[in-house]
């Protein structure tokens, strides 16, 4: 068995998303949202959000307007990250992996690409309160929780915590 066959990280490639990646991003977002937020949000809220934020048109706009990355495993899109680059920080708008492929290093590879692209900026990410999948991911990568934020998702008011990772030079 080759090293690449044993180590999934050797089979992961990260690149900027193009419009051709939109269907895979949409599918991953839908699967990951349903898996991650079931029991944390009402089913109606999850579906409301997916219809608005991850419709075909919205995913195309996300790729066009924000810095969007895909992680490919053996050439197939398996995870994505979307960032909004601001003068004082990078906001990690979304980072999701196909639920069946979690734990293979795809999220870490995406975060690494974002950090490499913006080494002088801190990174912020909002995580739904109680989302242990997200909290564990950020904790393991050196992020620290700071502010609590409330957000309206459809008819549901939700609490989030903003996690921060300092810039490389800080």
Q: Show me where the domains of the chain are located.
A: 3-165
By DSSP bridging, strand 123-128 and strand 89-97 are: parallel
Extract the runs of DSSP E, i.e. beta strands, from 54-143.
67-73, 76-86, 89-97, 123-128
CATH architecture under which domain 3-165 falls: 3-Layer(aba) Sandwich (3.40)
User: Largest alpha-carbon pair distance within the chain?
Assistant: 52
Task: Identify the DSSP state of 20.
Answer: G
CA distance 123 to 85: 9
Q: Mean of the pLDDT values across residues 31-36?
A: 96
**Span 105-154, pLDDT tens digits:** 999 999 999 999 999 999 999 999 999 999 999 999 999 999 999 999 99
Task: Please state, rounded to an integer, the average pLDDT across all residues of the chain.
Answer: 92
Cα Rg of the chain, angstroms: 16
Rounded to two decimals, what is the model's pTM? 0.91
* pLDDT-based confidence at residue 168 (cuts at 50, 70, 90): confident
Phi, psi (deg, nearest 5) at residue 11: -105, 10
Sign of CA dihedral 167, 112, 15, 131: negative
């Amino acid at each position: 068995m080759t090293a690449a066959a044993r180590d999934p990280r050797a089979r992961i490639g990260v690149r900027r998303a193009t419009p051709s990646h939109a269907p895979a991003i949409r599918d991953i977002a839908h699967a990951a949202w349903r898996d991650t937020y079931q029991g944390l949000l009402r089913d109606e809220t999850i579906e409301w959000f997916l219809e608005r934020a991850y419709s075909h048109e919205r995913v195309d706009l996300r790729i066009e307007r924000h810095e969007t990355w895909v992680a490919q495993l053996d050439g197939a899109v398996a995870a994505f990250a979307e960032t909004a680059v601001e003068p004082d920080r990078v906001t990690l708008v979304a980072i999701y992996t196909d639920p069946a492929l979690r734990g293979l290093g795809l999220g870490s590879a995406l975060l690494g690409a974002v950090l490499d692209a913006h080494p002088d900026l801190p990174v912020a990410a909002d995580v739904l309160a109680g989302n242990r999948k997200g909290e564990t991911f950020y904790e393991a990568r050196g992020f620290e929780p700071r502010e609590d934020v409330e957000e309206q998702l459809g008819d549901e008011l939700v609490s989030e915590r903003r996690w921060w990772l300092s810039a490389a030079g800080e």
